[in-house]
Structures are given as structure tokens and as C-alpha cells.
């Protein structure tokens, strides 16, 4: 199966992370940079402009990010600029995170509740989710009052909908089926 540009670059970064132990740093920096650069089309335009030399692009990136990010990440940004792939940074960061989490046995779980979780409930939920997914989890919390109560847990391709809204929908369908 053919890999995407973002998948190829993410795989190379994962290999570098395995060699030098920079996995977590790369994950954090790439995520922030992906968001930052995605919100800055002028920088993407400058890094993909054919009128700006690779040396000038490296200097611009060094001036902006030097001392603020790791050498590995800065060098990677320079490679992206040199190869005219700077616009792929957000997608590469997403693919890298996915691969890094898989490599480390981390599951990213999104929990949607009608009201914010209390700290004690969050801790109890984290422990249960770690058992359920056999390892460390990263919990992403969303608040959506339209679910009315309960929670919706999403991880990878699975979703457990224990919301009041979903239960009311199930009851409504059962009543409709009885009446129809």
C-alpha cells in the first residue's frame, strides 16, 4: 500500500525518535507547531516560495524557532522547507502522534459529558479506561450539554454511547416499533 507524504515523513521521525529517545519531545513540539503554522499562512507561503533560497528559509526558521524547540525539530522544519513540504506539517504531526502513541501503547480517549467531570470522577474514569484499553491513556474531555447526561467514550474506531440522549432515542425507537 502506498504511503502518503505525511505518513512517510512521520515514519522517518518515528525512526529518529527510536534512535535518540526524542519521541515525547517531538510529539509535543510537532503538535504545537502544526497548530501554530496552520494558523500562519504567511509562514507557509514564505517556506514554499521558490524565490527564497533554502539557506534563507533555514535562517528564517532559526530566527523564529531557534532556542525554543529541539534541534531535531528545527532540522526537520528546515528539511520540510527545503523539500517544499512545509504545508504538510499539520498532517505529519497528526500521523506522528498516531504512530508515537501506538509505539508507546498509549490510547487517546475522548470523553464527552453534559457537564465538566469532577476531579474524583476523572481519576476513577481514567483508572477504568486504563484497564479497558490495557495501558496508558490520554484523556480528551469535551462538554456537550445536548447529550443531557451520561457520557460518550470514543477511542480509535470504537464508541460507547451511554448518554441520556442516546437512551431516549433507543426508547423512542422501541415505542415507535411497538406502535407501528
How many domains does the structure of the chain reveal? 2
**pLDDT value, residue 37:** 85
**pLDDT value, residue 2:** 62
Instruction: Tell me: do 11 and 96 sit in the same domain.
Output: yes
Domain's final residue, options 76, 102, 128: 102
Instruction: Tell me: do 125 and 90 sit in the same domain.
Output: no
Q: Provide the 8-state DSSP code for 114.
A: S
Q: What's the mean pLDDT when you consider all of the chain?
A: 92
pLDDT in tens, 123-159: 999 999 999 989 899 999 999 999 999 999 999 888 9
How many angstroms separate the CA atoms of 58 and 128, rounded?
47
E strand or H helix that includes residue 98: helix 89-104
Domain's final residue, options 102, 118, 146: 102
Instruction: Tell me: do 124 and 154 sit in the same domain.
Output: yes
The length of the chain is 180
Domain's final residue, options 102, 118, 148: 102
Range of the domain at 96: 5-102
**pLDDT value, residue 39:** 82
Instruction: Tell me: do 128 and 77 sit in the same domain.
Output: no
Q: pLDDT band at residue 1, thresholds of 50, 70 and 90?
A: low
Amino acid at each position: 500500500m502506498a504511503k502518503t507524504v505525511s505518513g512517510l515523513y512521520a515514519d522517518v521521525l518515528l525512526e529518529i525518535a527510536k534512535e535518540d529517545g526524542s519521541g515525547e519531545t517531538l510529539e509535543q513540539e510537532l503538535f504545537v507547531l502544526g497548530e501554530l503554522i496552520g494558523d500562519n499562512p504567511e509562514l507557509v507561503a514564505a517556506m514554499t516560495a521558490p524565490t527564497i533560497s533554502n539557506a534563507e528559509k533555514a535562517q528564517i526558521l532559526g530566527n523564529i524557532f531557534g532556542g525554543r524547540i529541539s534541534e531535531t525539530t528545527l532540522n526537520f522544519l528546515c528539511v520540510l522547507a527545503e523539500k517544499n513540504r512545509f504545508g504538510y506539517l499539520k498532517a505529519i504531526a497528526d500521523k506522528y502522534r498516531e504512530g508515537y502513541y501506538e509505539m508507546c501503547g498509549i490510547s487517546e480517549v475522548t470523553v464527552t459529558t453534559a457537564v465538566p467531570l469532577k476531579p474524583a470522577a476523572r481519576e476513577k474514569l481514567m483508572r477504568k479506561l486504563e484497564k479497558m484499553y490495557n495501558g496508558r491513556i490520554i484523556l480528551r474531555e469535551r462538554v456537550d450539554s445536548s447529550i443531557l447526561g451520561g457520557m460518550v467514550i470514543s477511542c480509535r474506531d470504537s464508541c460507547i454511547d451511554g448518554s441520556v440522549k442516546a437512551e431516549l432515542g433507543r426508547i423512542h425507537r422501541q415505542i415507535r416499533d411497538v406502535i407501528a
